[in-house]
Amino acid sequence: MGSGATKQLVAASSGNSIVLWSAVLVGTVTDPLIFQDGCGGTTLLTVQVPANGSVVLPYMGIPYCQTSIGNALFFNGLGTTTVTAYYSIP
């Protein structure tokens, strides 16, 4: 859960990248939720979450984003945002 700051969603794994396959995003304010390659790193994905609403990124067999090797997956949102993620570390 994040609240107006960059938060680590999945810790880095030495020699591996992190692949986001699916997620459920729940927010308290209209919020562009940004997934990043490492803390403050490159923006990988931006999803608009409605106030007091949710967005489901369903599993489609194609990843929504993937970090660089050795980087953690971070997210940043304006309000209190809960992220439930389904990921793999290949």
> Per residue in 50-90, pLDDT tens?
988 999 999 999 999 999 999 999 998 877 788 889 898 87
Q: How far apart are CA 37 and CA 59, in angstroms?
A: 20
* Residue written as token pair 């971070």: 74
Between residues 27 and 35, the one the model is more confident about: 35
Per-residue pLDDT, 27: 85
Sketch the domain layout of the chain as residue ranges: 2-88
- Above 90 in pLDDT, residue 30? no
With cut-offs at 50, 70 and 90, classify the pLDDT of residue 23.
very high
Fold of the CATH domain 2-88: Jelly Rolls (2.60.120)
Residues 6+ apart with CB under 8 A from 79: 3, 4, 27, 28, 29, 31
Per-residue pLDDT, 6: 85
Number of helices and strands (H, E) in the chain? 0, 9
